[in-house]
Amino acid sequence: MKKVPLCLPAIGNEEIRAVEEVLKSGWMAHGPKNQEFEDLFKGYIGVKHAITMNSCTSALFLSVKVMEITGEVITPSFTFVASLNAIILAGATPVMVDIDRETRNISPTCIEEAITEKTEAIMVVHYAGLPADMPAIIEIANKYNLKIIEDSAECLGGSYNGIKAGSYGVGCFSFFPTKNITTGEGGMLTTNDDTLAANIKSLCAHGIDSTTFAREKAEKPWVRIASMYGYNFRLSNVLAAIGVEQMKKVDLLLTKRKDIAERYIKNLQHLRTISFQKTPEGFVNSWQMFTILIDSAIRDDLLKYLNGKGVGASVHFDPPVHLQPPYKDLRRATSLSVTEAVALSIISLPIYPTMSNDNVGFVCDVVKEFTEWA
């Protein structure tokens, strides 16, 4: 049987050689490749600071913690649980609001309806590679003096009018194998705030202001003084080396994803039973996922049919966070009817840079086969 996985990381000989070089160097902990990765990343996003860490979740957590947010944070329920976990574990209170059906992103109207005297921040989640409506969200944030955290785990390369996701507020990125670039596990935090960046760097490394690599040439390199209580959220030099090579080809990887998404749309757009994520004018979708909506009555049947034919289709996200046991008692500021309807109707089709035209065509044929008799 033909097999088309949901995703595959685009790892080549460059990454393998880079890892080998780091292993031979003996510097396997946080080191020079971290700095190189951060420099490439901040230049790409267009910010003053980029800080490597072990996950996007750590970046989200530290964003809330360092900005001393202890009140309410408005965020969508249509997201991975990491977004809510970071808010809760950092000591703040998430307030869930609804999304826009066409973009799958948080609704600015619902954000404003949810604001109370306890609201301190908005955690935007850019869904599947498409940035949320940041101009409208920034206007709301400025009006009510709210902080902005961007959960950009799925949106490396997404932009609006040339301004990239992760550069509006504090950006938090994931390098999980399904993402637009990968280090296996890993994350990055981006910001233009010098003070926040300095505090984040310290908190990532036990509250110590200087790294082991930076102290190597100091007069007393063994001196390690903590300026605050901290965590160990560092990314290793080995994984950072993979990130460096991934950043060197990020534009090529994104172009390939775009080509696959366009091929899907061209081949499936005549099917009245499905609809695609809408990319509004001025926005660039980085296509971390390619999702379709279909009648909820037959969604599970199509998913099983695809899987039965060897197509690694999946769902992101069902159930939404507010319907999962640990989060059921959290406040829902608005009706989440759109979130619930989308969660029951959505399917993620395979998409990855090395996906062949033949495999894209095969997935489309399987979808067409199902819709002919459904």
SS (H, E, C) 166-223: CCCCEEEEECCCCCCCCCCCCEEEEECCHHHHHHHHHHHECCECCCHHHHCCCCCCCC
Please name the residues in contact with 241: beta carbons below 8 A apart, sequence gap of 6 or more. 15, 18, 19, 21, 22, 33, 37
Fill in the DSSP letter of residue 269: T
* Model pLDDT for residues 137-185, shown as the tens digit of each residue: 999 999 999 999 999 999 999 999 999 999 999 999 999 999 999 999 9
pLDDT for res 207? 79
* Model pLDDT for residues 262-317, shown as the tens digit of each residue: 999 999 999 999 999 999 999 999 999 999 999 999 999 999 999 999 999 999 99
pLDDT for res 333? 85
In a domain, 174, yes or no: yes
Helix (H) or strand (E) holding 163: strand 163-164
pTM, entire model = 0.95
> In whole angstroms, how far apart are CA 296 and each of 79, 89, 99, 344?
19, 34, 17, 5
**Number of structural domains found in the chain:** 2
In a domain, 6, yes or no: no
CATH code of 116's domain: 3.40.640.10
> In whole angstroms, how far apart are CA 67 and each of 64, 87, 215?
5, 12, 28
Please name the residues in contact with 364: beta carbons below 8 A apart, sequence gap of 6 or more. 264, 267, 268
Q: Are 234 and 325 within one domain?
A: no
In a domain, 224, yes or no: yes
Q: Are 333 and 241 within one domain?
A: no
Residue 134: pLDDT band (50, 70, 90) is very high
Question: Residue 317: is the preceding peptide bond cis (ω within 30°)?
Answer: yes
Angle between helices 237-248 and 32-45 (to 10 degrees): 40
Q: Taking residues 214-229, report their average pLDDT.
A: 61
- The two tokens of residue 17 are 């050689």
The residue whose two tokens read 């999946």 is 314
Last residue of a domain, one of 208, 225, 249: 249
CATH code of 363's domain: 3.90.1150.10
DSSP 22-74: HHHHT--SS-HHHHHHHHHHHHHHT-SEEEEES-HHHHHHHHHHHTT--SEEE
Instruction: Name the residue range of residue 262's domain.
Output: 251-373
Q: Count Cβ atoms within 10 A of the Cβ of residue 154 and give its class: 0-12 exposed, 13-18 middle, 19 or more buried.
A: buried
pLDDT for res 94? 98
- The two tokens of residue 353 are 């840079």
Q: Are 67 and 189 within one domain?
A: yes
**Which pairing describes strands 72-76 and 93-97: parallel, antiparallel, or unpaired?**
parallel
- Mean pLDDT is lowest, of 17-21, 130-134, 320-324, 331-335, for 331-335
* Model pLDDT for residues 122-131, shown as the tens digit of each residue: 999 999 999 9
pLDDT for res 208? 78
Q: Which of 164, 179, 256, 309 is catalytic?
A: 179
Concerning whether 179 is annotated as a catalytic residue, the answer is yes
pLDDT for res 1? 85
In a domain, 7, yes or no: no
Q: Are 196 and 263 within one domain?
A: no
Last residue of a domain, one of 229, 249, 269: 249
* Model pLDDT for residues 53-74, shown as the tens digit of each residue: 999 999 999 999 999 999 999 9
Q: Are 133 and 274 within one domain?
A: no
Q: Are 121 and 264 within one domain?
A: no
The strand ranges marked E within 84-137 are 93-97, 119-125
Q: Are 243 and 367 within one domain?
A: no
Amino acid identity of residue 142, one-letter, is N
In the sheet that holds 274-276, the strands lie side by side as 274-276, 290-294, 346-349
- Measured CA to CA, the distance from residue 265 to residue 260 in angstroms comes to 9
Q: Are 71 and 86 within one domain?
A: yes
- Measured CA to CA, the distance from residue 60 to residue 75 in angstroms comes to 12
pLDDT for res 214? 55
**Average pLDDT of the chain?**
95
CA torsion, ordered 334, 137, 80, 284, to nearest 10 deg: 130
Please name the residues in contact with 267: beta carbons below 8 A apart, sequence gap of 6 or more. 360, 361, 364
Q: Are 238 and 284 within one domain?
A: no
Last residue of a domain, one of 233, 249, 265: 249
In a domain, 54, yes or no: yes
pLDDT for res 217? 57
Q: Are 81 and 213 within one domain?
A: yes
336 pLDDT exceeds 60? yes
Residue 2: pLDDT band (50, 70, 90) is very high
Residue 250 CA to its chain's centroid (Å) = 15
- Measured CA to CA, the distance from residue 18 to residue 33 in angstroms comes to 10
210 pLDDT exceeds 70? no
215 pLDDT exceeds 70? no
* Model pLDDT for residues 237-248, shown as the tens digit of each residue: 999 999 999 999
Q: Are 199 and 280 within one domain?
A: no
222 pLDDT exceeds 80? no
Q: Taking residues 207-235, report their average pLDDT.
A: 69
- Measured CA to CA, the distance from residue 185 to residue 201 in angstroms comes to 18
Q: Are 244 and 332 within one domain?
A: no
3-state DSSP assignment of residue 329: coil
